Structure 1
């Protein structure tokens, strides 16, 4: 089931980004299609937590509204995560993450959306054993596929007005070093609240 969801989401992302490039090429050739008033920026802050895990991060983005019901773009990540009771009671694992990826959002209703986001992240970890013994550091990499849904406020396509959104996402790949899993490898909910700002819209 997860493999099917992974392939489906990846196909959506590749298709959306490919369509954006095609529209831009049409505009450069005089065929119309790409329009700079469909570009948007913005970003989100994220929180994730479970019994022994805390996470916070920031995610600036740049995107393009392919249609009034579909957005696609790229995102940059910075996430800090703290784990406790990883290998023994009261030990700690701290990690800082840098990375990026691509996303798409589908709006079946003006204020509700489904989101798929594929990422590759570089993770720097520091392990602190119980009792304050010698710590150890390591650098890892991980792919993630975030799937979920969200809610937006005051979203009116073509109005040129910024709007806020709230999304809940889960990493369905669940790789070993994913920043979106707890100390036991279980996927944790990632809550992202952010703003989307049209860059050149004056109303279409």
Structure 2
């Protein structure tokens, strides 16, 4: 059962951090960026998950962006259901519009219920993701990002996540 939960959490955490920034294109004078991401997953034993991660940022310089990101995910299967909320600041630094490094701190609130044993579990967890990657321009101020983030606060056997390593695939509009 724990392996199923850990696998689902890894899938969801990956989808949460695969951010797709959408919204109206900011005016040239606007330094605000808006966006977010959504994730959807299916698995065995009627497993289903849905996640969303809205974000708002501010370009401090042409190459430095900081803001706040939130995340919410719902998962259910024949054996369990879980809800996870997260919120925290992020910062990204862009090199020549081809590479980026970033940090993202998240504080998670997790509500888990085992349907088979009628067991409930509520916990909180902090995560500090550090990483970077490659950016490919796909429009005037739109980019596709490919990268990796690692949760430096992750501890095996005491985390709701199965791994500290998170792939990051997404799109950014308004940089």
Interval of TM-score (by shorter of Structure 1 and Structure 2): 0.5 to 0.7
For 2:152, the equivalent position in structure 1 comes to 172
Match runs of 1:53-202 below 5 Å: 57-80=51-74, 94-127=81-114, 132=116, 134-154=117-137, 161-174=141-154, 178-179=159-160, 181-182=161-162, 187-198=163-174
Does the CA-based 8 Å contact 1:45-1:193 persist in structure 2?
no
Report the Cα offset of residue 56 of structure 1: 6.7
Scaled by the length of structure 2, the TM-score of the pair is: 0.64
Q: Does 1:42 align with 2:26?
A: no
Hey, what's the Cα distance between the residues in 2 that align with 1:197 and 1:155? Answer: 10
Partner SS, residue 67 of structure 1: coil
Hey, what's the Cα distance between the residues in 2 that align with 1:193 and 1:55? Answer: 18
Distance 1:162 1:99, change over 3 A: same
Does the CA-based 8 Å contact 1:71-1:106 persist in structure 2?
yes
Does the CA-based 8 Å contact 1:170-1:189 persist in structure 2?
yes
CA RMSD of aligned residues (A): 3.4
For structure 1, the residue ranges without an aligned partner over 5 or more in a row are 1-34, 48-53, 83-91
| Bigger proportion of residues as strand | 2
Scaled by the length of structure 1, the TM-score of the pair is: 0.56
Hey, what's the Cα distance between the residues in 2 that align with 1:138 and 1:79? Answer: 16
Misfit runs of 4+, over 4 Å: 175-179
Question: Which structure would you say has the larger Rg?
Answer: 1
Report the Cα offset of residue 177 of structure 1: 6.0
Hey, what's the Cα distance between the residues in 1 that align with 2:152 and 2:63? Answer: 24
Hey, what's the Cα distance between the residues in 2 that align with 1:153 and 1:118? Answer: 25
Report the Cα offset of residue 93 of structure 1: 5.9
For 1:24, the equivalent position in structure 2 comes to none
- The total of aligned residue pairs comes to 141
| Range with bigger deviation, 189-198 or 94-103 | 189-198
